[in-house]
Amino acid sequence: MSTLADLAANPRNPRKISVAARDALRKSLAEFGDLSGFIFNRRSGHLVGAHQRKAILPPTAEVVISERVEIADSLGTELMVAAKTKTNNHKTMIQPELLPLSNPASRATMNGKPVHEVPAKSVLNLESGFAHKLLCDGPTFTMGSACAYSCTFCYVEDLMRKNPHWQGVIAEQPGAKFEDVVIRRRGGVAALCAQLTYADGRPRFMDDDQAGRVVYASPLVDVAANLELVRETIQACEAILTLTRWDIRLLSKSNLLPKVAQGIASELQGAAQRRIIYGVSTGTLDPGIARAFERGTPLVSKRLESLHWLQDHGYRTYGMLCPSLPLPDGDYEEFAEAMATAIRADLCEHVWGEVINVRGDSMTRTVDALNAGGFRRHAQSLTLVSTDKEAWETYAQVTFGAHAHRYSGQTGPDGKPKLRFLQYVTKNTRAWWKSREPDGAILL
């Protein structure tokens, strides 16, 4: 198998697109090339997705297998990637002959961190705790186990301490620090396809009770930290859009989610586009503070621009205001208003908020990073609340109170409070937060 012509279409593929949509797809392919690849089921001998792109790209375009199920797979699913089109200042027509593509060899480093790859056995978790945070209805997926970014407050290291992926890295590289490595799951998209289908290739999650259920990505890594990860996320989303009736919630600290939207939009027009909800996360609008405690992430202003682009182009969006620090000047109402304006909260379906939480030595790392970045007053405020339980509770309550005031009476499309404020509670504080549930408090 070496050309697109060898990838037989599935005769039962129900998707049809309008002439206008096909023209838009043709333009997009000419402008961006093929970002998403083709998923092919070897056993059935048919494409799983990407029929419209196949119809537009030249049948002689060469393809190579970029990912293959490594462990014997019951479905015979392989992931094929077609060549990119050549572009010239975004204006070149599709070339008659495409270069064979290549899954671009996996990058050896990301943000200066070595990339470790582990075989993907499972990337989908059907019963995650993220349902309790209302980020999904249970399912989450992740294509990695350690992020390309390095935020000082990140909770993932704590979750992964005993994980075999991380243990394998330490065995290979004793003394490695979790925040200094990237761990990717090789063959992740194929593993995802396998988890979404029965052994005979029928999709598992197509019944009526699956319609509109939300899957969240990612609980462990950023889904769009660079273009290689964007490409992987596009492929994962296309598999989910094709093989399930779920909606997808994506969260990123990058400014590349529009690339995900464009990559998916080029193939799956209309209703499928409305099945993805995009969010960018930040707990501050101060670029210096963000730079101090988030290593490798784009400027907050760039992230916000990308969110606005998605909103301006009709995509579904949500807000993620976290982690927000204690404010030395204490003006939480002003903070809540500024954040709501920055994310254009009126265009977001829901808005999550959370104060910074202590996990492992993340608090020390964050205080140190703020001091090193010259934000001594913020570091002092954080030290104060992290060593005084009452001060901590006051900080959480006033932060919540300011957001609750800002979103008072507002609801999301589900009719529930627009604000979703995540708060860890204790025996002593539970009652106060419980009484605020109608205003958007979510007790953890």
Among positions 110, 135, 147, 192, the unique one binding ligand SF4 when judged by CB under 6 A? 147
**Closest approach of ligand SF4 to the CB of residue 142, in Å:** 10
Binding segment toward ligand SF4, per CB under 6 A, in 46-54, 75-83, 86-94, 144-152: 144-152
Binding segment toward ligand SF4, per CB under 6 A, in 82-90, 150-158, 390-398, 401-409: 150-158
> Which C-beta is closer to ligand SF4: that of 114 or that of 401?
114
> Which C-beta is closer to ligand SF4: that of 357 or that of 423?
357
Q: What is the 8-class DSSP label of residue 411?
A: B
Q: Is 154 in the site for ligand SF4 (CB under 6 A)?
A: yes
Tokens of 423: 């708060």
Question: Left if phi > 0, otherwise alpha if psi is -120 to 50, otherwise beta: which for 297?
Answer: beta
**Closest approach of ligand SF4 to the CB of residue 299, in Å:** 14
CB 4 within 8 A of CB 63: yes
The CA-based diameter of the chain, rounded to the nearest angstrom, is: 69
**Rounded distance, CA 19 to CA 30, Å?**
17
Rg, C-alpha atoms of the chain: 23
Binding segment toward ligand SF4, per CB under 6 A, in 130-138, 147-155, 167-175, 310-318: 147-155
> Which C-beta is closer to ligand SF4: that of 73 or that of 222?
222
- For residue 161, how many other CB atoms are within 10 A of its CB? 10
**Closest approach of ligand SF4 to the CB of residue 260, in Å:** 15
Q: What share of the chain is helix, strand, coil (3-state, %, to 5)?
A: 40, 20, 40
**Closest approach of ligand SF4 to the CB of residue 107, in Å:** 17
> Which C-beta is closer to ligand SF4: that of 125 or that of 266?
125
Count of positions (residues) in the chain: 444
x/- string (CB under 6 A) for ligand SF4, residues 355-394? ----------------------------------------
Q: Name 212's Cβ contacts closer than 8 Å, sequence gap at least 6.
A: 245, 246, 247
x/- string (CB under 6 A) for ligand SF4, residues 66-105? ----------------------------------------
Q: What is the distance, to the nearest Å, from the Cα of residue 415 to the centroid of all Cα atoms in its chain?
A: 25
**Closest approach of ligand SF4 to the CB of residue 150, in Å:** 6
Among positions 130, 149, 178, 392, the unique one binding ligand SF4 when judged by CB under 6 A? 149
x/- string (CB under 6 A) for ligand SF4, residues 234-273? -------------------x--------------------
**Closest approach of ligand SF4 to the CB of residue 269, in Å:** 30
Q: What is the dihedral of CA 403, 408, 412, 415, to 10 degrees?
A: 140
Question: Left if phi > 0, otherwise alpha if psi is -120 to 50, otherwise beta: which for 50?
Answer: left
**Closest approach of ligand SF4 to the CB of residue 122, in Å:** 19
Burial of residue 71 (number of CB atoms within 10 Å: 0-12, 13-18, 19+)? exposed
> Which C-beta is closer to ligand SF4: that of 184 or that of 253?
253
Name the H helices within 129-187.
156-160, 164-172
Binding segment toward ligand SF4, per CB under 6 A, in 145-153, 188-196, 262-270, 327-335: 145-153
Q: What is the distance, to the nearest Å, from the Cα of residue 166 to the centroid of all Cα atoms in its chain?
A: 21
First CA to last CA distance, the chain: 52
> Which C-beta is closer to ligand SF4: that of 155 or that of 309?
155
DSSP three-state, residue 11: coil
Binding segment toward ligand SF4, per CB under 6 A, in 35-43, 129-137, 146-154, 361-369: 146-154
Please give the size of the binding site for ligand SF4, defined by CB under 6 A. 9
DSSP three-state, residue 171: helix
**Closest approach of ligand SF4 to the CB of residue 241, in Å:** 24
Within 183-222, the residues that bind ligand SF4 by CB under 6 A are: 221-222
User: CA dist 310 to 163, 183, 265, 288, Å?
Assistant: 35, 29, 12, 25
Among positions 7, 124, 151, 214, the unique one binding ligand SF4 when judged by CB under 6 A? 151
Q: Classify the C-alpha dihedral 404-406-408-410 as positive or negative.
A: negative
Residue 285's identity, in one-letter code, is: L
**Closest approach of ligand SF4 to the CB of residue 179, in Å:** 7
- Using CB under 6 A, list all residues that contact ligand SF4: 147, 149-151, 154, 156, 221-222, 253
